[in-house]
Structure 1
Amino acid sequence: MSEAGTSGAEATGTEESAQTGDRPDGQLEALLDQGEAQQFRQRWQSIQVTFVDEPRQSVEEADALVNEVMTRLTKTFQEERQSLEAQLDTEDVSTEDMRVALKRYRSFFERLLST
């Protein structure tokens, strides 16, 4: 318990929202924007359709698409991590700034585990 009588979990909101990220509806923030995700899904559908006539080509295209999605996710995670690190790289970082950073790390962590 802290001096104010709240536990660390209560102070950072981990008990009520550890599994929910930062969205009030309890959903984790998407890793890709809707348009980009939809394009990947459409490409996946096309790959599946061509399997009957061109199974080898379909598997090769599936491999390439999965690799592309993984590369895009890696870039997203790198950008998020850099943003979080930059926030903490200032001399005048307050406890509130660190609390917000911890919430962002928690959300990021939950997004990683949800993939």
Structure 2
Amino acid sequence: MATWVWIVIAVAAVVVLALVLWSALRARRTRTLQQGFGPEYDRTVADAPSKREAEAELSERQKRREELDIRPLDAGARERYAEAWQVTQARFVDEPGGAIAEADVLIQQVMRERGYPVEDFDQRAADVSVDHPEVVNNYRAAHGISIAHERERATTEDLRRAMVHYRSLFDELLESRQPAGAENPR
């Protein structure tokens, strides 16, 4: 065979090998993101124009999270916030709307003390999704109900659901363990 034929075969083999390697790396990245983000991965892929853009967004969230100094609460802070939650929850009986607003503020206070930036809701949800992907949809739902309540479009049952949703994130944030991103860097 002529030399040029061997060169074409070699180049073709390298291209095929590169494509196989690229495909394997993409599959690994997808698997890692799916395992790390759980249902948040599916939600982000469904909302994004493409799977590639969704995965890029999730990877950016991870990078941003790694730059944050997220820390657990000390025992005193956990106790103080747990007591504040009990007061907020008790307030729900007489003032459901006020209790929901208070729960939202309490969540933000805990997040701030743990080291999460709290200026923008969407960014808060994105940041918390890295460490608590299993409850971030609850947080979004509770926030949506809170906004609906401000516009007088939420029922008492909606407010009850919001309180339950806020509680799921609150419990996660109060945990004394390190955030998932700190234990197993992605």
Which range, TM-score by smaller chain? 0.3 to 0.5
* Higher RCO, 1 vs 2 (CA within 8 Å, ≥6 residues apart): 1
Give the structure with the higher percent helix. Answer: 2
TM-score, L = length of structure 1: 0.41
TM-score, L = length of structure 2: 0.26
The structure with the larger Rg is 2
